[in-house]
């Protein structure tokens, strides 16, 4: 954790400032340490360079249980008793989502060259210039693929993720002077209302209550700042909504991740074959005028350029998510209207929506 991050942070519970107590530092960064709320005295560990600022109901499953070494070494420096640390908590829907994406981002933590282009496609028609000189929040950064691109433009950027993917993000973004990472929950963001721009790409539709997540991100943007969101669309997703969704809900999201990972290979091979078929159908004269009516034509042509491994990551992402919702344009528009914002909303690959609004 870079020490200047402290000025942006607040307690997730009472919104007061925090006091930093480093246990181990490396150059200007805190490797291990503790943040304590000056009011309610709630404590948040800093483990492996990352502040872990989760609410009580999540911190045991997602932080303490997974960082036993830190606990053994520094547990005594925290107020919680050993009994508190040891008690087990039932997994909530949120922590299930988190563990699913944690596996995904650890397994697929490599960067593909096409990620930059994909990020710019997601933003389009908006330009990355909108990040220039700005303090940016990446809400749900996963292994940091978007944070990496946005950091080329932003003055400073803070990436948050609920899952262990945040550790993969740290490895990918280590050494970037304008990047901060925090393990945090979108419903309990530990920040002041300071961001010039907050964005969330491909995350909110996996939350138990997506609109609530949107509102929580919005609260961290200063008046006059901007919010950008990309979500799954209902329109243009006939095959996903009607065929793949029931399969995900009933079967694949319940499978052990390792098993699902292997199952994704033959499914991705099938997808690869479909992409080849779509490419040929769109290239042949006469047939190509009919090809545009094929389901998800634009999307399959788009991903046909991706490597097998990248497609495998996409398939795993779809099939492992415990929760996913697909939004009609008018439903997405309502998020902005309910927040009294005028949004510019555009389709993306004819199967998803992106919206940008200025915060009042």
**Which residues form the interface with Zn ion (CB under 5 A)?**
11, 13-14, 16, 37, 39-40, 42
Between 182 and 343, name the residue whose CB sits nearer to Zn ion: 182
Between 19 and 330, name the residue whose CB sits nearer to Zn ion: 19
Residue for token pair 């710019």: 120
Provide, rounded to whole angstroms, the least separation between the CB of residue 41 and Zn ion. 7
**Residue in 90, 6, 67, 58 with CA at minimum distance from that of residue 187:** 58
Provide, rounded to whole angstroms, the least separation between the CB of residue 318 and Zn ion. 38
Whether the Cβ atoms of residue 274 and residue 291 lie closer than 8 Å to each other: no
Between 187 and 214, name the residue whose CB sits nearer to Zn ion: 187
Whether the Cβ atoms of residue 179 and residue 147 lie closer than 8 Å to each other: yes
- Return the structure tokens found at 73: 């070494």
Provide, rounded to whole angstroms, the least separation between the CB of residue 20 and Zn ion. 14
Alpha-carbon distance of 265 to 271, in angstroms, equals: 10
Whether the Cβ atoms of residue 228 and residue 197 lie closer than 8 Å to each other: yes
Between 42 and 220, name the residue whose CB sits nearer to Zn ion: 42
Provide, rounded to whole angstroms, the least separation between the CB of residue 222 and Zn ion. 22
Provide, rounded to whole angstroms, the least separation between the CB of residue 39 and Zn ion. 5
* 128: exposed, middle or buried (Cβ count in 10 Å: 0-12, 13-18, 19+): middle
**Residue in 325, 170, 149 with CA at minimum distance from that of residue 234:** 325
Alpha-carbon distance of 340 to 334, in angstroms, equals: 9
Between 37 and 204, name the residue whose CB sits nearer to Zn ion: 37
């Amino acid at each position: 954790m870079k020490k200047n991050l402290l000025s942006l942070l607040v307690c997730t519970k009472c919104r007061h400032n925090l006091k930093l107590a480093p246990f181990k530092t490396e150059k200007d960064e805190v490797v291990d340490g503790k943040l304590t709320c000056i009011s309610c005295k709630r404590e948040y560990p800093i483990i492996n360079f990352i502040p872990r600022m989760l609410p009580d109901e999540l911190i045991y499953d997602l932080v303490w249980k997974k960082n036993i070494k830190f606990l053994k070494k520094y547990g005594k420096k925290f107020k919680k008793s050993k009994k508190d640390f040891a008690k087990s908590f039932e997994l909530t829907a949120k922590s299930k989502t988190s563990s699913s994406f944690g596996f995904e981002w650890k397994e697929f933590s490599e960067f593909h060259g096409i990620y930059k282009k994909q990020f710019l496609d997601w933003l389009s028609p908006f330009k990355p210039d909108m990040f220039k000189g700005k303090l940016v929040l990446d809400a749900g950064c996963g292994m940091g693929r978007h944070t990496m691109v946005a950091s080329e433009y932003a003055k400073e950027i803070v990436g948050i993720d609920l899952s262990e993917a945040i550790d993969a993000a740290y490895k990918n973004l280590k050494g970037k002077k304008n990047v901060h990472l925090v393990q945090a929950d979108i419903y309990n963001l530990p920040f002041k209302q300071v961001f010039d721009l907050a964005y969330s790409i491909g995350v909110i539709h996996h939350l138990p209550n997506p609109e609530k997540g949107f509102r929580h991100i919005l609260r961290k943007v200063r008046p006059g700042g901007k919010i950008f969101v990309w979500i799954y669309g209902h329109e243009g997703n006939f095959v996903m909504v009607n065929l793949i969704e029931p399969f995900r809900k009933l079967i694949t999201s319940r499978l052990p991740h390792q098993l699902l990972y292997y199952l994704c290979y033959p499914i991705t091979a099938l997808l690869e074959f479909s992409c080849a078929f779509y490419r040929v159908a769109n290239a042949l004269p006469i047939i190509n005028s009919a090809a545009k009516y094929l389901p998800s034509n634009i999307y399959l042509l788009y991903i046909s350029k991706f490597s097998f491994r990248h497609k495998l990551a996409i398939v795993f992402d779809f099939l492992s998510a415990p929760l996913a919702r697909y939004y009609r344009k008018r439903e997405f528009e309502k998020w902005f209207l309910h927040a009294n914002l005028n949004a510019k909303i555009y389709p993306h690959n004819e199967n998803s929506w992106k919206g940008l609004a200025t915060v009042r």
